[in-house]
Structure formats: structure tokens, C-alpha cells
Amino acid sequence: MAGFIYPNEGLVEWDLLIVIYPYITGLVAGAFVVSSLYHVFGLKRLKPVSRFSLITALAFLMVTPLPLVMHLGRPERAFEMFLTPNLTSAMSAFGYIWFFYLLIVLAEVWLVFRPDITRYANANEGAKKTFYTVLALGVLNISEAAHKLDEKLIKVLAFIGVPVAFLLHGYVGFIFGAVKANPWWSTPLMPIIFLMSAIVSGISLLIVVYLAITRLRRAEVEHKCFHFMALWLGGFLTVAIVLEGLEIFSMFYEQEESWEIISQLISQQIPVSYFGIQFGIGSVLPLLLLALTALFPLKERSKTALALVSSCLVLVGVFAMRWNVVIGGQLISKSLRGFTSYIPPIWGINGLVTSIAVMILPFILLAVLVYLLPPWFVEEKPKPPERRGFVFRTSALAVKRES
């Protein structure tokens, strides 16, 4: 019976769009965690990217449900989960979690950028003034007391948002881990693995996009902040590698009846994407490169380049992980006696072109948000020494020059 598969088991129902869905969700969770490390835990080194990471999370969060809605075939049915709620359905729980998380992120973004929105409303005329006044919701008070209240609310929202972000992506891992009939998915480590890889991918995304936008702006890279993000990336990446290794090691050690088909899956069906891309190129290699930046006294330019390459490799590796979980799990026959195959089409609603368009959309939204609400901190330049006639005053002494 080796290699046998029933004819009705040859379809891969959860295709490329379902691979993209947890990938984008993970980018949201990781970006929000970076913002919360500053707002909640007070890591001052992350201040230069705290606002940028917040609007990055918002841009990707707005696109998160799109792959699922497109995959439905009847997108209008997505509203049924709100009109006829079923609290016992794990599938519909995503809608409630996502909507609650969206409200938290929107409120935090508004509070963080409210002083800027008010300044833009006062500094512009015509349509721009109307736009920013509406965006301010009519609240134009930027006094010191209002600012302190905003900071307290931001900290509260960020504190609440951290477990909700973990829940959002841990939930995705729970959906797969709860499928008992599939031995490749059914593991209690699945939610934690998804969560760790989400944080890793989100930090990597921020490193890549922050450096790209900084270069486009021709601004100075905040090297302390940049390398601090790389340090956190290395820490979370280490945990993610250990968890993924423990998952496959526990399957190997238990040697259940499903191990034979799983060993064939990773050694014959997905060896390149699993061992080569997910572990080799996307995990071990970037961890070694990040270790070089942390352990050896390299030049800033070299450290920045290594961190950038590592982040790009991690993004590729996390996508390979999503592919191996979603697609790899469906390659196994329900009879555990064979495999099917899957090659994504180029065109169509589930094709490569559509999936690439979905992946590009959050970057377009991010560009719009950055244009409307520039997230960069502008430090005030020190005032020049006061000059009156031929008198120059400094903080240390006053020097008089007479003609």
C-alpha cells in the first residue's frame, strides 16, 4: 500500500492565500510587540521606531482578514460571524479577536499622533485643515495635562494590546494544532511556535523597512536603536529555533504510528523548503550572522549590512515555515498512506499574482500612513548663542568685542 492515496484526497483546499494569512498576521503581532517594548516596558533605545512600528502594525492589521475573505469565494458571508455570532466556533473567533485588536491599535495610534494631528490642523488651510480637524475628532487640547493623560492611556492600551496580539497569532497556531486528524498539525507546541515566529518576522520586517525608508529620506540611521532591534531579533530567533526543533524531536522520540508518514514528508516531499529554507537559510544562517554583529567589534556599516541580510533571510524562513505547515500538512493522505502534490497557479483568485498583490497592499497603506502622519522624531536643535550688537553670550562666559 506504499504510495497509495484515495482519489478524493488529492485536493489542497487551504492554498496560497491561507499561507499568506498567518504570515501577515505574524508581521502585525511582531511590529506591535516592538512598539509595546517602548511604551509598556520603557526600553528607550526603541523610541526612534516606536511610532513607526505602531503604524506598521496598523497597516498590516487592516489587510489581515483580506486573504480569508477572498478565499471564501463569497466575501459577503464574512459578516455573518458578527450578525449571527457563534462563540463556540474557533473559526469565527478570529473575527472577534481581530476587531477588538483593531480598535485597540486605532485608539493607540490616535493618542500617540494626536499632538501632531492638532499641529497639522492649526498649521494648514482649506481641505488639509478640515481633514486633520476631523481626524482629531474635534479634540484640539494639547496642554501639558492632556499630554500626561494621553501617555497614561497609551500605556494602558499598549499593555492590553500585548496579550491580545499574542492571542491573535497564537489563535492561528491553535486552529492548526486542534486538528487531531492531521499528525503534522496536531501538537500543543503549535500556538507557541506560531507566536515566536510571528515576533521574529515582525522585528525583521521593521529592520528592513526602517532601514529602507531611512535611506530614502536620506536621514541618519539610529544605530543604537537598529542594533538593539537586531539583538532582540537574535534572542527571539533562538527561542523559535529551539521550539521548532523540540516539535520535530518530540515526534521522533515518541515514534507514534504517524511518524513514518511525517518522516517521509520532511525527507521526501518538503526537504528543500523545510531543512534548506526554513531551518538552514531562514533560521541558523541569520542567527550566526546576528551572532557576528554581537560578539565581534565590526564597523557600523558591516553590522548594519549583516543585520539587514539576517532580517531578509528570517522573513524568507518564516514564510517557508508557514508554507510547510499549511501546505505540507495537506500533502499527507487522510489514510496516512501517501501524498498529493500542490503547485500554486499563476492566475486566478488563489494564484501567485493575487497573492503578491495582497502582500503589496499593506506596504501601500503604510506609505499613505507615513505621508499623512510622519512617525519620525525630530529633535530640537540647540539655539545659537544670543547676539546683541557686538556682544556674544555663551553658557560659560560673555565675550565682548569692541570695534
Query: What are the residue ranges spanned by the domains of the chain?
Result: 7-400
pLDDT at 321 over 80: yes
Q: For position 399, what pLDDT does the model report? A: 38
> Rounded mean pLDDT of 266-280?
93
Listed in sequence order, the residues at least 6 apart from 185 whose beta carbon sits closer than 8 Å to its beta carbon are 176, 177, 179, 325, 329
Q: Quick one: DSSP state of residue 77?
A: G
Q: Are 105 and 32 in contact (CB under 8 A)?
A: yes
φ, ψ for residue 332, nearest 5 deg: -80, 130
Q: What share of the chain is helix, strand, coil (3-state, %, to 5)?
A: 70, 0, 25
Q: For position 9, what pLDDT does the model report? A: 59
Q: For position 60, what pLDDT does the model report? A: 95
Class of domain 7-400: mainly alpha
> Rounded mean pLDDT of 81-89?
78
Q: For position 342, what pLDDT does the model report? A: 86
Cα–Cα distance measured from residue 188 to residue 190, given in angstroms and rounded to the nearest whole number: 6
Q: For position 6, what pLDDT does the model report? A: 54
Question: Across the chain, what does the average pLDDT equal?
Answer: 85
> Rounded mean pLDDT of 22-29?
90
Q: For position 396, what pLDDT does the model report? A: 41
Q: For position 10, what pLDDT does the model report? A: 59
Read off the pLDDT of residues 276-295 as tens digits, 9 standing for 90 and up: 999 999 999 999 999 998 88
